């Protein structure tokens, strides 16, 4: 009887500690999505409001007082997001204030040292096609249908621009598009075969809509991060043989999706953190494309693997 009571007490104690011990905030899973969805549109490579970028570790720490590891209360990044909703200085400068839960996550993350793995660059803007030496598709001349589609997109408020002066290659960024994202729009996009760079991050693009983009065979960079795209949708990318950069972070893709990318021999950068893809799947894909770098939030995974190894070492002894 006595032993039972002791066991029961020990069990309750274990339960109680499990409930109070909170895991450390995970940058890739919990902080990056907040910055990506609410801050980077104004504090990224394109717009640098207040001369501040929040899309990489180096940038975010590069400006005095914005982030002070271990001291949320002194970090401008946290101070700005907890201001009253009607304060002129509140961030984000537009839209609803962050939820209390999001504010608390930012606070805890900073107080725990503001850990931000170097290779996790939000939005991947640093990899625009013009900046890397890569193979371009053969010359392109816009058809009448394509010109019409561009006009239609312009009407909808979407800028489809040449990637450089006098270039026939085009770029479009719908990441912060505020109009309705519907089939009509996607159909028009699918006719603009001069597109080499397309950003659909954070949009309502889904697997069925992706089918309409299959004709975009000249695409070199494609952003699909934070969308509903799954493995099923990836098969529509099969004909995009010049694809050099693909961002799938924050989607529901798995190792099966990764395997479907093995014929994309020109692919060099694949972002798949915060998905169901695993290091095993990434390694397999690299076997058929050794020049590819797959970003799974690697340092996080490496750390986990190391711990696992240490544990095994310990068991052997």
**Which tokens is 246 given?**
């693909």
Hey, what are 310's tokens?
Answer: 């240490």
Which position among 53, 57, 80, 264 is part of the footprint of ligand HEC (CB under 6 A)? 80
82 belongs to the binding site for ligand HEC (CB under 6 A)? no
By CB under 6 A, tell whether 92 contacts ligand HEC.
yes
Contact 286, 308 (CB under 8 A): no
Interface with ligand HEC includes 155 (CB under 6 A)? no
In whole angstroms, give the CA distance from residue 272 to residue 291.
Answer: 16
Q: Which stretch binds ligand HEC (CB under 6 A): 40-48, 144-152, 201-209, 287-295?
A: 40-48
Rg (CA), the chain: 23
* Nearest distance, CB of residue 253 and ligand HEC, angstroms: 27
Q: Which of 24, 89, 118, 183 binds ligand HEC (CB under 6 A)?
A: 89
Nearest CA to 53 out of 202, 107, 45 is that of 45
Q: Which stretch binds ligand HEC (CB under 6 A): 7-15, 36-44, 155-163, 292-300?
A: 36-44
Least separation in angstroms between CB 197 and ligand HEC: 23
Applying CB under 6 A, among 27, 38, 248, 250 the residue interacting with ligand HEC is: 38
Closest alpha carbon to 241 in 212, 262, 227 = 262
For residue 2, the minimal CB distance to ligand HEC (Å) is 56
Nearer to ligand HEC, 79 or 217 (CB): 79
**154-160: Cβ within 8 A, 24+ apart:** 156/185, 156/188, 158/185, 160/192, 160/195
Q: Which is nearer to ligand HEC, 43 or 152 (CB)?
A: 43
Contact 210, 230 (CB under 8 A): no
Question: Other CB atoms closer than 10 Å to residue 275's CB: what's the count?
Answer: 22
Contact with ligand HEC (CB under 6 A) among 14, 93, 151, 238: 93
The residue with tokens 């809509």 is 209
**Checking DSSP bridges between strand 160-162 and strand 170-173, what pairing results, if any?**
antiparallel
Q: At closest approach, how far in Å is the CB of 5 from ligand HEC?
A: 51
The site for ligand HEC (CB under 6 A) is made up of: 38-39, 41-43, 49-50, 52, 63, 66, 76-77, 80-81, 89, 91-94, 98
């Amino acid at each position: 009887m006595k032993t039972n009571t002791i066991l029961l007490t020990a069990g309750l104690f274990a339960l109680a500690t499990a409930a109070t011990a909170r895991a450390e905030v995970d940058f890739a899973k919990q902080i990056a999505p907040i910055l990506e969805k609410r801050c980077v549109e104004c504090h990224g490579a394109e717009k640098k409001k207040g001369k501040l970028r929040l899309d990489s570790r180096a940038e975010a720490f590069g400006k005095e007082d914005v982030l002070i590891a271990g001291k949320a209360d002194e970090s401008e990044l946290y101070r700005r997001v907890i201001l009253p909703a009607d304060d002129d200085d509140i961030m984000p400068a537009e839209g609803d204030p962050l939820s209390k839960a999001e504010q608390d996550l930012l606070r805890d993350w900073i107080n725990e040292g503001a850990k931000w793995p170097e290779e996790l660059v939000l939005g991947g803007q640093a990899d625009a096609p013009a900046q890397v030496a890569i193979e371009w598709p053969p010359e392109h001349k816009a058809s009448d249908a394509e010109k019409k589609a561009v006009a239609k997109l312009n009407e909808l408020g979407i800028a489809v621009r040449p990637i450089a002066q006098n270039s026939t290659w085009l770029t479009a960024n719908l990441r912060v598009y505020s109009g309705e994202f519907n089939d009509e729009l996607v159909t028009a996009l699918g006719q603009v075969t001069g597109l080499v760079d397309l950003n659909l991050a954070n949009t309502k693009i889904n697997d069925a809509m992706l089918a309409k983009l299959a004709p975009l065979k000249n695409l070199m960079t494609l952003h699909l991060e934070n969308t509903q795209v799954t493995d099923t949708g990836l098969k529509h990318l099969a004909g995009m043989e010049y694809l050099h950069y693909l961002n799938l972070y924050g989607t529901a893709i798995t190792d099966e999706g990764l395997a479907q990318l093995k014929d994309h021999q020109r692919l060099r950068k694949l972002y798949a953190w915060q998905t169901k893809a695993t290091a095993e799947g990434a390694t397999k894909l690299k076997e058929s494309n050794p020049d590819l770098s797959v970003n799974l939030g690697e340092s996080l995974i490496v750390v986990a693997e190391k711990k696992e190894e240490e544990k095994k070492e310990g068991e052997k002894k």
